[in-house]
Structure 1
Amino acid sequence: MTVELRHHTTLTDHVRRDLLDVYADVRAPLLHLPNYRVEAFAERLDRHATEPGFELVLAFDGDTPAGYSYGNTVDAGDRYWSRMADPLPDGCTDTPVLALREIGVRTAWRGTGTARRIHDALLAARTEDRVTLMVNPLAGDGKVQRLYETWGYVAFNAQPPSPDSPRLTAMIRPRAR
């Protein structure tokens, strides 16, 4: 499979529609849960798209969107940090980090390296020294978190569950590896 990676720093209607289509397909088994509904994701996406350092990578196989990853810069005052379950390690917020907000790949492209290519493309031109993400430790019976560990991420905290979401594990790694 030949996948083309397209970078976006603004969320046009066309790009947003492509992303929402891929999201709905990737998360189809979970769409009945309030936090995973397309509308809930769209609200988060729209908020993140207006925050500093927003960048999106969409993967296309021909005209078909196959996957995505997006994130934005978070600094010491960002609510990202204030929602952590435990006190942060010393120096954790001294420099801005890239918060990888979402990554997803449609079933036909899983196991092909597409997710890693999208991830690495998002990180390639970033200036932050570190990247952080949240993962549901139960996703794929723990396979998703283990995959992130093979990419160099280590768990360092957690986010307590909200009424609409599960408890998430916070992971971090240097941007460049």
Structure 2
Amino acid sequence: MFLRRLTRWQAEQQREVMANLYMECHGLDGPGGGAARKAFLERFERHVQEPDFDMVTANSGAVLAGCLYGFRAERGGTLADALRNILPAEAAAHAGAGRLFVITELMVVPEYRRLGVATRLRDLLLSRHTTDVIVAATPPGAAHEVLRAWSYAKLGELTSPPREAWLGPGPG
């Protein structure tokens, strides 16, 4: 398994590939998947522009096996404000100081799940971020199994788009 960090520019260039991965990971390849793909691409385009956007991919040979990305949530930003209302007081204080990193997408294709791919992606992604609070705000679904395994605690639900918020155990 080869892990690779992508620059913002590389991520933007790979947007269609990421949309394909999203569709495969969420089982949305059938009829009616066009709206989900479009919504993902719109979110992805916004996320790539966020401060400290960071993305890592996992490849097995020519197969894109997974991807994990996130960014530092800006004080006063929509996501930071939504999370502030559900974070514990100490975490909210750190978040208010701009020390909040949000994992916004975790995707591993089904045949590579339970092989440690997501954990390796997380370790590489977070290796260069010095934030005090790590939150995963991911679509409801398979990701919460791995978040539990990482000792993340579910905080609650976010809307528009629907997301589950999970508080990570913190750095190191």
Q: 2:108 aligns with which of 85, 105, 110?
A: 105
TM-superposed deviation, 1:41: 0.5
Higher helix share: 2
TM-superposed deviation, 1:72: 0.6
Q: Partner amino acid for 1:7?
A: R
Q: What residue in structure 2 maps to residue 131 of structure 1?
A: 134
Paired with 1:129 and 1:30, the residues of 2 have a C-alpha distance of 37
Paired with 2:135 and 2:72, the residues of 1 have a C-alpha distance of 10
Segment drifting more, 44-53 vs 148-157:
148-157
Q: TM-score, normalised by structure 1?
A: 0.79
Q: What residue in structure 1 maps to residue 167 of structure 2?
A: 172
Q: Partner amino acid for 1:4?
A: F
Say if 2:51 and 2:74, in contact at 8 Å, map to a contact too.
no
CA RMSD of aligned residues (A): 2.6
Give the direction of change, closer, same or farther, for the CA distance of 1:24–1:156 in structure 2 (3 Å limit).
closer
TM-superposed deviation, 1:131: 1.0
Q: TM-score, normalised by structure 2?
A: 0.81
Q: What residue in structure 1 maps to residue 49 of structure 2?
A: 50
Matched, 1:121 2:124: yes
Q: Deviations over 1:127-162 (max 9, x none)?
A: 21221012455x25xxx4243122021123431x44
Q: What residue in structure 2 maps to residue 37 of structure 1?
A: 36
TM-superposed deviation, 1:54: 0.5
Paired with 1:105 and 1:17, the residues of 2 have a C-alpha distance of 16
1:76-115 to 2 correspondences below 5 Å: 76-84=75-83, 86=85, 88-91=87-90, 92=92, 93-95=95-97, 96-115=99-118
Matched, 1:4 2:2: yes
Q: Deviations over 1:35-54 (max 9, x none)?
A: x7111101111111111001
Give the direction of change, closer, same or farther, for the CA distance of 1:88–1:118 in structure 2 (3 Å limit).
closer
Percent sequence identity is 25
Say if 1:86 and 1:157, in contact at 8 Å, map to a contact too.
no
Say if 2:156 and 2:166, in contact at 8 Å, map to a contact too.
yes
Aligned residues: 166
